[in-house]
Amino acid sequence: MADFSVLSDEFAQVVENACAKARSTALEAGHQIVYRSATGGYVAEYPGGRRFEVRFDPTRPRESHLVVLREISSNAA
């Protein structure tokens, strides 16, 4: 395995590729994914492509700790 610096563009590309693979693998397996948007909010994406703005509520049980705020339209960037 090659040596990588965490400050290099090459390392950043490796991380980006790994994240993209993990995302697609999870969605293909039928799992939702949750990530931070560019504006700092949380987005839940489902295998069918629907996306929702969500927030975490730590007082709720683990299976329902996401609270949906609104659906994000498919033409939203």
Domain ranges of the chain: 1-30, 32-77
What are residue 56's DSSP bridge partners?
A: 66
Q: Does residue 19 sit in helix, strand or coil?
A: helix
pLDDT (tens digit per residue) in 6-57 = 678 888 899 999 999 999 999 999 999 999 999 999 999 999 999 999 999 9
Residue with tokens 């090659």: 2
Predicted TM-score of the model (pTM): 0.74
Predicted pLDDT of residue 61: 85
DSSP state, 34? E
Question: In whole angstroms, what is the distance from residue 43 CA to residue 49 CA?
Answer: 12
Q: CB-side exposure of 24: number of CA atoms within 13 Å?
A: 5
Predicted pLDDT of residue 7: 78
